[in-house]
């Protein structure tokens, strides 16, 4: 049995762990294919590019399912529960633990139609609860490409809200899917910081 919940909810979002049977790969492929709307903007600062075929998406779903079942890693689909986009696939939220170091790394991508709605912060708040309340981890860290201003603004907002801090810029701290290094900016939130920020 996985350590990760199969489903989670917030005020406006529903999360479901990606695995075979929980997500039709064709539905996801429609939003990650090479000619999907705004796909170049969506993936510009991500470590992966558009999926060339539905088979590539199906393989991602299968790998995600294996990692989920082994409690190694989890990717969630993100869907709004209200408004014009209710029930639509908006993107995925990743939660990547390093159990030995008691740290989880968060990741997320959204379709362009979801940008500017505060969904990233709402998703982060739920993932912090998962890390600190359910899994008893010590830290959560978040990285972004140093060139990505949109991510910087979103991340700084919720890191400040939950008492975390910017750790600094890691020069050539990450590598793209094509093997190109880039500078990454890192933030972290400690369990004690989160607890102080969320206490009644």
pLDDT exceeds 90 at position 200: no
User: Per-residue pLDDT tens for 14-51?
Assistant: 999 999 999 999 999 999 999 999 999 999 999 999 99
User: Would residue 180 count as lying in a domain?
Assistant: no
User: Per-residue pLDDT tens for 83-125?
Assistant: 999 999 999 999 999 999 999 999 999 999 999 999 999 999 9
DSSP 3-state helix, strand, coil percentages of the chain (rounded to 5)? Answer: 35, 30, 35
Contact 43, 49 (CB under 8 A): yes
Whichever domain contains 62, its CATH number is 3.40.630.30
**Cα–Cα nearest to 85, from 34, 30, 13:** 13
Mean pLDDT of 157-180: 96
Domain count, the chain: 1
Q: Reduce the DSSP state of residue 116 to 3 states and report it.
A: coil
User: Would residue 184 count as lying in a domain?
Assistant: no
Alpha-carbon radius of gyration of the chain: 16
User: Would residue 188 count as lying in a domain?
Assistant: no
The C-alpha atoms of residue 62 and residue 105 are separated, in whole angstroms, by 21
User: Would residue 59 count as lying in a domain?
Assistant: yes
Q: Residue 177 has what pLDDT? A: 86
User: Would residue 115 count as lying in a domain?
Assistant: yes
Please give the distance of CA 162 from its chain centroid, rounded to a whole number.
17
pTM of the model: 0.96
User: Per-residue pLDDT tens for 141-152?
Assistant: 999 999 999 999
Q: Please state, for a pLDDT cut of 90, what percent of the chain lies above it.
A: 98
Range of the domain at 38: 7-140
User: Would residue 178 count as lying in a domain?
Assistant: no
Q: Nearest 5°: phi and psi at 174? A: -150, 170
């Amino acid at each position: 049995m996985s350590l990760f919940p199969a489903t989670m909810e917030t005020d406006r979002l529903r999360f479901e762990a990606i695995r075979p049977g929980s997500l039709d790969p064709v539905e996801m492929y429609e939003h990650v294919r090479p000619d999907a709307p705004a796909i170049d903007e969506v993936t510009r600062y991500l470590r992966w590019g558009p999926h060339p075929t539905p088979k590539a998406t199906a393989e991602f779903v299968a790998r995600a399912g294996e990692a989920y079942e082994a409690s190694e890693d989890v990717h969630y689909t993100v869907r709004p529960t209200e408004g014009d986009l209710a029930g639509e696939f908006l993107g995925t939220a990743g939660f990547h633990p390093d159990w030995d170091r008691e740290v989880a790394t968060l990741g997320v991508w959204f379709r362009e139609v979801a940008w500017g709605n505060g969904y990233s912060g709402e998703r982060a708040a739920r993932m912090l609860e998962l890390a600190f309340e359910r899994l008893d981890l010590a830290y959560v860290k978040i990285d972004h490409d140093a060139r990505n201003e949109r991510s910087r603004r979103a991340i700084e907002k919720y890191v400040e809200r939950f008492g975390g801090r910017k750790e600094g810029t890691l020069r050539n701290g990450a590598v793209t899917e094509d093997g190109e290094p880039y500078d990454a900016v890192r933030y972290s939130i400690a369990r004690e910081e989160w607890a102080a920020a969320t206490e009644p």
